[in-house]
Structure 1
Amino acid sequence: MSKKHKSEHHEEHADESWLIPYADLLTLLLALFIVLFAMSTTDSKKFEEMSKAFNIAFNSGSGVLDNTTIVTTGEQMSKERENNRQPSKEDLTKEQLQAAMKQEQEDLEKLKKQIDNYIKTAGLTTQLETKLNQSQLMITISDNALFPSGSAQIKPEARSLALTIATMLNKYPGYEIVVSGHTDNEPISTAEFESNWDLSSSRAIRFMDILLSSKKLDPKLFSAIGYGEYRPVDSNANALGRSKNRRVEVSIIRKFTDPDKSQNIPATPK
């Protein structure tokens, strides 16, 4: 009788075997979210490490929290991003900033000289000009050198000009490039363009497209802007002034500028 009573008392304990698959499910869900987070980064090597951690969670009895590789990987990713970050102007000492500005001035003067030599050799002195100031190196190209009247289709002979400029820019990476289109104040309304805004924007984009056909240039550093008729460089009262206002400008933006100085940075004596 006592044995039977003891057996019945033992059977009253709840069956807790369900906790094992439940814990495994939670572990796998945690591993899944960590892998999805890793997939959102562009570091393929780190993603492979996260995938290995995921496989470990599937194929072994150890939980994800027991695997310190995942935590270490996250720390390493943060450290590497910090180490690979390019120094900004704020990170530089005054001496380093002055040295960087001087080197940039020399590079931009060299690029300007190369473009000026090309303009002279190609006989384009009436259609192109360059100007270097405290904020940028600007290449100004008249619209009739690039486009037929009222069109944004690049002339075949103008493609070589754009590709030559792109080749020169390849030697000076890291600069932000802004391509801007400008028109005169003569209104335009065609099936293709409703306004000068449309025309100037399309011209800037089409010229930028050819520049970026050079795969060595970084598209994320490029932007195209259409200003329409609202930033003239001459009077729109006569034909000569209007022709100067119809233009495309390619601006190479300085990375280092000194707000305390209004004059040009002195170049190294030649």
Structure 2
Amino acid sequence: MKSKIYLLMAMGSLAIFSCVSPKKLEEEKAKYTELSGNYLALQAKYRDLQDELKRCQNESTARISDLTTRKAALESQIADMTKQIDYLKQNNNTVLNQLKDLSVVTGAQAESIKKSLDNIGAKDMYIRDLQGSIARKDSLNMALVMNLKGAIGNLDDKDINIKVDKGVVYVDISDKLLFKSGSYEVTDRAKEVLGKVAKVLNNQPEIEFQVEGHTDSVPIKSPGILDNWDLSVKRATTVVRILQDTYGLDPKRMTAAGRSQYVPLADNGTPEGRAANRRTRIVILPQLDQFFKLLETKK
């Protein structure tokens, strides 16, 4: 089609050229050249417009696809939220019904609540009484410690230790104050020391106590003594007999026990540690029967 147009234009030009002047011919040639240039420019612009149209179509297709995907996701979220709203509505109705039930308290229920509150108040008072009793017991223990320290005050503090731990009074007496080395035979100072302790204990007739013998970890080699168990028991019973026979303490208040080397105060690997572990301990026992009586009366 285009070639036919060019042919006709050429034939027309020849016809014109054959009957026009050279000047006119040049003008026509110039117009032809201008028209040809305009035509080519229009063709290029047409191609650009086609490319732009194709690009826009591709972008529109991608945009439509993206919007479709997002729409589907939003619809899914809306469906989930609708289910949640329905569940919450149902749950809310259930809670409202329960609240309605709770808002009606019968006379029997009110009486039961009152009794529960009264019981809580009684328990609270009971706990306060127990705390007061424990505080009084601690005060008595501290008074006992002060009396013991006052009675034994002129003896070497390093050889006698008196303390309160978890409501129990402990009196630790070094073995060198009471016994000869490796023996359960008492020293000359033993009765002096035990006499001071006995005086305080005699003034507290309701107190029960346990006398414990403790040794270090060195095996015993003395005649008539089997091992550290044997030595610790014999030392404890020796002290108990002195307190009973010499100072008149009621034997029902006393217990003798041997602990051997198994409850050390210090490391048996050093001379100082072994010396600390060789001791007689008097344990002032808590009055559990009185405490249990208190529990019974307060219930």
Give 1:191's match in structure 2, choosing from 219, 223, 227: 223
Rg (Cα) greater in structure: 2
Higher relative contact order (CA 8 A, sep 6+): 1
Check whether the contact 1:163–1:210 (CA below 8 A) recurs between aligned residues.
no
Task: Tell me by how many angstroms 1:95 deviates.
Answer: 5.1
Q: Pairwise CA RMSD of aligned residues?
A: 2.2
**Alpha-carbon distance in 2 for matches of 1:145, 1:249:** 12
- Is 2:250 the counterpart of 1:212? no
CA deviations 1:137-165 (Å, max 9, x no partner) are: 00000101111101101112210211111
CA 1:117–1:131 in 2, change beyond 3 Å: closer, same or farther?
Answer: same
CA 1:97–1:175 in 2, change beyond 3 Å: closer, same or farther?
Answer: farther
2:264 is matched with: 232
**Alpha-carbon distance in 2 for matches of 1:134, 1:98:** 14
Report the AA paired with residue 142 of structure 2. Answer: E
Secondary structure of residue in 2 paired with 1:186: coil
Check whether the contact 2:213–2:232 (CA below 8 A) recurs between aligned residues.
yes
Which has more helix, going by share of residues?
Answer: 2
**Alpha-carbon distance in 1 for matches of 2:155, 2:236:** 23
- Unaligned 5+ segments in structure 1 are 1-92, 259-270
How do residues 95-134 of structure 1 correspond to structure 2 at under 5 angstroms? 96-120=129-153, 122-134=154-166
* Aligned-pair identity (%): 30
Relative to the length of structure 1, the TM-score reads 0.57
CA 1:238–1:224 in 2, change beyond 3 Å: closer, same or farther?
Answer: same
Report the AA paired with residue 107 of structure 1. Answer: L
1:203 is matched with: 235
**Alpha-carbon distance in 2 for matches of 1:253, 1:99:** 19
Task: Tell me by how many angstroms 1:94 deviates.
Answer: 4.3
1:148 is matched with: 180
**Alpha-carbon distance in 1 for matches of 2:242, 2:196:** 10
Q: Which runs of at least 4 in structure 1 moved beyond 4 Å after TM superposition?
A: 93-96
Check whether the contact 1:166–1:212 (CA below 8 A) recurs between aligned residues.
no
- Unaligned 5+ segments in structure 2 are 1-125, 292-299
Task: Tell me by how many angstroms 1:115 deviates.
Answer: 1.6
**Alpha-carbon distance in 2 for matches of 1:148, 1:135:** 32
Secondary structure of residue in 1 paired with 2:281: strand
Check whether the contact 1:129–1:140 (CA below 8 A) recurs between aligned residues.
yes
Number of residue pairs matched?
A: 165
Check whether the contact 1:200–1:226 (CA below 8 A) recurs between aligned residues.
yes
CA 1:98–1:170 in 2, change beyond 3 Å: closer, same or farther?
Answer: farther
Report the AA paired with residue 161 of structure 2. Answer: E
Secondary structure of residue in 2 paired with 1:156: coil
CA 1:167–1:149 in 2, change beyond 3 Å: closer, same or farther?
Answer: same
How do residues 224-263 of structure 1 correspond to structure 2 at under 5 angstroms? 224-255=256-287
Task: Tell me by how many angstroms 1:173 deviates.
Answer: 2.1
